[in-house]
Amino acid sequence: MTSSLHLWLIPLVPFAGFLVNGLLGRRFPKALVTAIAWIATLIPFLQVLNIALHFSSLTLPYNERVATWITAGNFHADFAFALDQLTLIMLLVVTGVGFLIHLYSAGYMAHEEGYWRFFAYLNLFMFFMLTLVLAENFLLMFVGWEGVGLASYLLIGFYFTKDSAANAGKKAFVVNRIGDFGFLIGMFLLIAHFGTLSFDGIFSQIAQHPEWQGGFLTAIALFLALGATGKSAQIPLYVWLPDAMEGPTPVSALIHAATMVTAGVYMIARAHAIFDRSPFALSTVAIIGAATALFAATIGLVQTDIKRVLAYSTVSQLGYMFLACGVAAYSAGIFHLLTHAFFKALLFLAAGSVIHALSGEQDMRVMGGLRKKIPVTFWTMTAAVFAIAGFPPFAGFFSKDEILYQAFISPNPVGKIVWFVGLLTAGLTSFYMFRLWYLTFFGKSRADQAAAHTPEPGHHAEKEEHKHPVHESPWIMLAPLVILAILSVIGGWVGVPAALGGHNEIEHFLSPVMHAQHLSFEQVSVAMSTQQQAVVPAAEAPEGNKSLELLLAVVSVATALIGWFIAHLMYFAKPELPAQIAAKVRGLYSLLLNKYWIDELYGAVIITPVLFLSRYVLKGLFDTGVITGGGLALGYATQGIGSLVQRVQSGNIRSYAGWLALGAAALLLLTYFGFGTHLSF
C-alpha cells in the first residue's frame, strides 16, 4: 500500500494543543483546557491504532519525506518520518500511555495553580517524544531528544516556587547535556564517515561493507551509548532521575518511567546496525546496564520516600533494557520497554493515588494499613508489584525472563556475568517492591506517628490546605489505573517463549527490523572471539534450548520468591527486624541510604572545582594576578605588594592595558618562536 499515512500529523496535533493551551489557556476554563489537551493526544493515539490495524497491508519500512530541511554542500537532511515495526511499538506506548496519563492528570492536577501550563507542557512533551520516535534521521531524532529534555525540565520545575524543584530541573538539564555531547559527537562522526544522517543511508552503507568492524564504528557506538546513558539514566549519568521526582507524579509516570527515559534504549535498538559491528561497545553497554541494574536496586532497598523507591527501580529496570541491548537481544529490550511502560506507569500513578489519598504524604514510614481504605489503588498496585517482581503470568515475568535467557546464551563473553547480576537484581527488585507493598498497604496505619517527624514540603498544593481524611481517588484517576493494571497482567502474553508453549510473537514481529543483527553479530563474535564458538546462538536453534529456558525461568521465579519471602518476614511478620538489621550493619545501611554519596562525590569532584576556578582563579589571577605581575615588571616593585594589589585592582584601565600588552606579547612570541616554518627577512 502506497497511500500516504500522514505520519507528520502524529506529532503535529499535540504541538497544536501546546500552542493553543500555551498561548490562550490562561483565559480558558479548566474544562476547555482539559478537552484540548485530551483531544490533542487522543487523535494521534487513534491514528496510531488505525495504522496498527492496517499494519499487515503496508510496505515496510515506510518513509515519509515532509520537506527538505538543510542542504549544505554534500550534506543533506530532511524533515522525514519513518515507520516500521519498532516505531509502531514505540508509538503505541507513547500515545497509549500518554493518553491515559493525560486522563489521570486531569484528576491529579485539578487543584493546582497553572493547570493550563501543565497541560501545555505535557502536550509539548508529546510532540517532541513523537518526533523522536518517528524521525528518519539522527538529526531530527536529536531535535526530539533535546526537546523532551526541555519539556522534562519545564515539568520537573513545574513548582518553580520551590527551590528544590527548580534545582532538580536544572540538574536534570545539565546532566543530560553531558549525554547530549556524546550524541552530538556521535552524529559528527557519522557525518564525517557516511556523509549523511539518514538511518536508511547509514545502515545500508554498513550492510554493504561487512568488512567494517570495530574501529570508527566502535567510537561512534560508544559516543551514542554515552548519549543513551544520559537520557536513560544509566551509570554514570543516572543522578538526575531520582531528583526529577520533584515534578508532579503524572510527569514522573509519563516522562521518567514510561517514555522519555526509554529513549536511550530505543536509540540503541534503532542504531543496532552500528552496535552489532562493535563487540566492545556492546559489552560496554551490557556491563553498564548490569551494573546500573544492581546498583540502583541496592539503593532502592532502603529508601523511604515512595516515589524515590520507584525512581531507583526505574533506573534499575532501564539497566535491564541496556543489558538486553548489550547482549544484542534488542527485541527483548524493546519487549521489556513495553511491559515496563505499563507496570511502571501504573506504579507511579498508583503511588500518586496513594499520595493523593494521604494529602501529599510520600514517606512510607507513616503509611500502612491502606489496603481497605483505598481498595482500587491497592489491587491495581498489587498487579504492578507482581509484574515488576517477575511472577508469571504477569507481564514483567516474560520480558525479564527473555532478557535473562538471552544474556545467558549470548556468545558475548560477559553474557554469563551479566546474567548472574540480572538474576541477583531480580531478587532485590522483588524484595524492595514487596517492602513498598507491605509498608504502604499492610499493618496498622502509622499516620499518627507522622507528628513525630515533619514530612517533606509538599509536591502537592493540597499539602498547604489542612489534611482531610484518607479517601479513594476520583474515577478519572482510577480508570487509567485499572486499564494499566489489565495491561500489566496480560501485556506480556505477546512474548510467551516457545519453552512455555508460546510463539514469542513480539520477537517475530520485530525481526524484520532487528534481523540483520543476528547474522552480523555472529560473524563479529566469531571473528573476534573464536573460543566462544561452542555456544549455540538462540536465534538459530531456539528449539534445542527449551529445557534450558524453562530451567532459567524457574530459577528466576525462585529468586523472586525468596525476595518476597524476606520482605514478608521483615515488613509483615516481624516489623521490628529491619531496625535491628540496620543497626547491625550501620555502615552499609548508611552507605545505601545516602545513595553511595555519589551526588556528594560529583559535587566535590566536578562542580566545586569549576566554581572555584570561576571565582578564584579567573577573577583573582586573570584580573589582578597577571596585572600585578605586569606591574612588577614595569617598576612597581618598590611599593609594597599589598598596596599594589589594592591599588592596581581590576576595573583599572591601565591594568587592562597591561593585560592587553601581555597578551599581545605572548601572541607575538608564539608567532615568532612557536609555530610555523622558515622565516626569512
Partner 1 sequence: MTDVAQVFRILPEVILTITGVLIMLGEPLLAKNASRKPLGWLAVLGTLAALFASFWQLQLPAGTAYFGTVQTDAFSVFFHVLIAGIVLVTLLVTLDAAGRDAESLGELFALMCFGAVGMMLMSCATELLLVFVGLEISSISTYIMAAFRRKSAKGPESAIKYFLLGSFATAFFLYGIALIFGATGTTDIPQIAGLLSTSQVPVFGVIGMAMILIGIGFKVSAVPFQVWAPDVYEGAPSPVVGLMSTAPKAAAFAVLLRVLYTALPALHSHWQPLIWWMAALSMTFGNLGALRQQNIKRMLAYSSIAHAGYLLVAFTALSPDGIAAASFYAASYAVMNVGAFAVISHAGGMDDRLTLIQDYRGLAYRSPLLGGALAFFLISLIGIPFTGGFFGKFYVFASALHSGLVWLTIIGLVNSGIAVYYYLRPLVSVYSKPVHSDLLDGIPRVTVPLMFALLITIAGTLILGIVPGRVLALAKAGALTLQSTVSDTTTAVK
Partner 2 sequence: MVPIAYYLVLSAILFSIGVAAFLIKRNIITVFMSIELMLNAVNLTFVAFAHQWHHVSGQIFVFFVMVVAAAEAAVGLAIIIAIFRTRSTLNVDQVDLMKL
Phi and psi of 347, rounded to 5°?
-60, -45
* Interaction partner, residue 69 (partner 2, partner 1, none; CB < 5-8 Å by kind): partner 1
- Contacts of 22 by beta carbon, 8 Å cutoff, 6+ apart: 116, 117, 120, 124
Residue 603 beta carbon to partner 2: minimum distance, rounded to whole angstroms: 25
Q: Binding of partner 1 at residue 534 (CB under 8 A)?
A: no
Q: Give the separation between CA 509 and CA 88, rounded to whole angstroms.
A: 11
Torsion over CA: 434, 439, 440, 443 (sign): positive
| Residue showing cell 606579547 | 665
* Interaction partner, residue 635 (partner 1, partner 2, none; CB < 5-8 Å by kind): partner 2
The total of other beta-carbon atoms located within 10 Å of residue 27's CB is 9
Among 614, 643, 646, 649, binds partner 1 (CB under 8 A): 614
Residue 133 beta carbon to partner 2: minimum distance, rounded to whole angstroms: 47
Q: Give the separation between CA 569 and CA 572, rounded to whole angstroms.
A: 6
* Interaction partner, residue 649 (partner 2, partner 1, none; CB < 5-8 Å by kind): partner 2
Cell, residue 503: 510463539
* Interaction partner, residue 680 (partner 1, partner 2, none; CB < 5-8 Å by kind): partner 1
- Pick the closer one to partner 1 by CB: 171 or 272: 171
Q: Which stretch binds partner 1 (CB under 8 A): 378-386, 410-418, 551-559, 657-665?
A: 657-665
- Contacts of 639 by beta carbon, 8 Å cutoff, 6+ apart: 647
Residues in 614-673 that interact with partner 2 by CB under 8 A: 619, 623, 630, 634-635, 647, 649-654, 657-658, 661
Q: Binding of partner 1 at residue 189 (CB under 8 A)?
A: yes
Which of 106, 125, 130 lies closest to 47, judged by CA? 130
Q: Give the separation between CA 419 and CA 332, rounded to whole angstroms.
A: 14
| Residue 91, SS3 per DSSP | helix
Residues in 139-168 that interact with partner 1 by CB under 8 A: 142-143, 146-147, 150, 157, 160-161, 166
- Pick the closer one to partner 1 by CB: 573 or 613: 613
72: enclosing H helix or E strand:
strand 62-72
Using only C-alpha atoms, the chain has a radius of gyration, in whole angstroms, of 28
Q: Per-residue string for binding with partner 1, 168-187, x by CB under 8 A?
A: -xx--xx--xx--x--xx--
18: enclosing H helix or E strand:
helix 9-24
- Residue count at the site for partner 2 (CB under 8 A)? 15
- Pick the closer one to partner 2 by CB: 603 or 629: 629
- Pick the closer one to partner 2 by CB: 174 or 657: 657
- Pick the closer one to partner 2 by CB: 503 or 647: 647
Which of 622, 626, 644 lies closest to 635, judged by CA? 644
Residue 390 beta carbon to partner 1: minimum distance, rounded to whole angstroms: 38
- Pick the closer one to partner 2 by CB: 606 or 657: 657
Which of 413, 418, 422, 419 lies closest to 390, judged by CA? 422
Q: Per-residue string for binding with partner 2, 569-608, x by CB under 8 A?
A: ----------------------------------------
Q: Binding of partner 1 at residue 594 (CB under 8 A)?
A: no
Phi and psi of 68, rounded to 5°?
-75, 135
- Pick the closer one to partner 1 by CB: 149 or 396: 149
Residue 603 beta carbon to partner 1: minimum distance, rounded to whole angstroms: 14
- Pick the closer one to partner 1 by CB: 173 or 405: 173
- Pick the closer one to partner 1 by CB: 66 or 551: 66
Inter-residue contact 410 to 328 (CB < 8 Å): yes
Among 536, 618, 634, 637, binds partner 1 (CB under 8 A): 618
3-state secondary structure 371-415: CCCCHHHHHHHHHHHHHHHCCCCCHHHHHHHHHHHHHHHCCCCCH
* Interaction partner, residue 675 (partner 1, partner 2, none; CB < 5-8 Å by kind): partner 1
DSSP letters, 403-446, are HHHHHHH-SSTTHHHHHHHHHHHHHHHHHHHHHHHHHHHSS---
Provide the phi-psi class of 60: left if phi over 0, else alpha when psi is between -120 and 50, else beta: beta
Q: Binding of partner 2 at residue 213 (CB under 8 A)?
A: no
Inter-residue contact 343 to 396 (CB < 8 Å): yes
Residue 91 beta carbon to partner 1: minimum distance, rounded to whole angstroms: 21
Q: Binding of partner 1 at residue 461 (CB under 8 A)?
A: no
Residue 659 beta carbon to partner 1: minimum distance, rounded to whole angstroms: 5
**Residue ranges that bind partner 2, judged by CB under 8 A:** 619, 623, 630, 634-635, 647, 649-654, 657-658, 661
